Amino acid sequence: MTSELFAPLPLRSGAVLGNRIAKAAMEENLAGDGQLPGRRLLSLYRRWATGGAGLLITGNVMVHAEALTGPAGVVLDDAAPLGPFAEWAEAGKAGGAAMWMQLNHPGRQVQADLPGVVWGPSAVGVDLGRHSGRFGRPTAMTPEQIEATVTRFAVTAARAEQAGFDGVEVHAAHGYLLSQFLSPLVNRRTDAWGGSLPNRARMLLDVVRAIRAAVSPSFAVAVKLNSADFQRGGFDADDARQVIAMLAPLGVDLVELSGGSYESPAMSGRPADARTRAREAYFLDLAEDLVKTSPLPLMLTGGITRRDTAEKVLAGGVALVGMGTALAVTPDLPERWRDGREADREPRPVTWPDKALASAASMARVRYQLRRLARGRRPAPGVHPAWALLAERRLQRRALRRYRAWLATARSAVATRPAPVRVAER
């Protein structure tokens, strides 16, 4: 069978991806001064640019300066200078790949020590048992806050296009704000944004409509969606099927499927599952089911590390293979596959009994690799997850001090600024 991995993928917007391999978004937490992309992010994306992927998707970029997933998060709002973002786009596109920016709002998944706002569809906090105190207590968003947030997504998308990015991906997975609205466990509203699935999907659909109205027809718009939340009574595969159908008429190019949230961190892997298929492509069974009815091309991310697994994903009808951790450890893996080679090493799964802590350590270990790549060094997949977690917490304390100082200055500037920029519809 001839592999489709290196065949081009045309999209509805007219864009064509060079092959079927994408670097999926990973939260780098590498913002420089002013919560902007700096030399470390540029260096990291230049490394990936030469690795052979057809698409690079950035780690999540925050649409609201007062709502970050971590203190070193990148912010692109109406006040951010575009120069650093133009350099970031140029770095990612240096090898011929398309470069998309992932847009996100954390909603209730905001660390308790971060300044700013902790919002959600309802006042339902993150339940991590004894670790629940890591996150702030959310307040239910008002209709005005919801509408303002929709506008923020559109502003960020329009500015990403101005900076030279080829597209955006709206993050509606992993328990972040738009995923919270989709979840019947978190969204307990009784107004137009709660109750039925069409109501719970309303904010996501409004975000996509606003973005499409604010960017060029040739600019790609994608959505990252959970195939399931993996929580009893939560967002499930049938919900995902219906939301994909709702997105189809809105000019969406692609839906990336993942799964889980901080409360049920399926996106960090399922090492307890004895089936090799589940260990290597966590959500493939669900994706193959969704492909049967999806009017949109699907991308699958989660646990793909070997070429034969990637080819099985494509053979199941998925259009694009997404990889995160694999490219943090082996940034040139697509080129290796083209040459018939595989990765030299893979990190072992973190199998600590405390799932929340194991998930945090897994993500910290990935970001440890990203920092090494950004410094021009080789990855160190054998680093102990506890060491990576401790190192990250030290760095986050320093980043938190910088973010607090920056946000205080930014708030003062907003207080004296004229009316905010409005996004003109095309």
The predicted structure's pLDDT at residue 418? 61
The number of residues in the chain equals 426
Task: With H, G, I as helix, E, B as strand and everything else as coil, classify residue 245.
Answer: helix
The predicted structure's pLDDT at residue 7? 97
Give pairs for 79-83: CB < 8 Å, separation 24+.
79/410, 79/413, 79/414, 79/417, 80/34, 80/35, 80/36, 80/159, 81/34, 81/36, 82/159, 82/162, 82/163
pTM reported for the whole predicted model: 0.92
Query: What is the enclosing helix (H) or strand (E) of 363?
Result: helix 355-374
Read off the DSSP letter of residue 115.
-
The predicted structure's pLDDT at residue 11? 98
The predicted structure's pLDDT at residue 277? 40
Amino acid identity for residue 178 in this structure: L
The predicted structure's pLDDT at residue 402? 97
Residues of the chain with pLDDT under 50: 1-2, 265-279, 425-426
* Residue recorded with tokens 């955006």: 168
The predicted structure's pLDDT at residue 2? 42
Give pairs for 369-376: CB < 8 Å, separation 24+.
369/328, 369/329, 370/26, 370/28, 370/30, 370/44, 370/328, 371/30, 371/40, 373/43, 373/44, 373/47, 373/328, 373/331, 374/30, 374/40, 374/41, 374/43, 374/44, 374/47, 375/40, 375/43, 376/43
The predicted structure's pLDDT at residue 133? 85
Burial environment of residue 294 by CB neighbours within 10 A (0 to 12, 13 to 18, 19 or more): buried
Distance CA 326, CA 320 (A): 15
User: How is the chain split into domains, by residue range?
Assistant: 9-415
CATH topology for the 9-415 domain:
TIM Barrel (3.20.20)
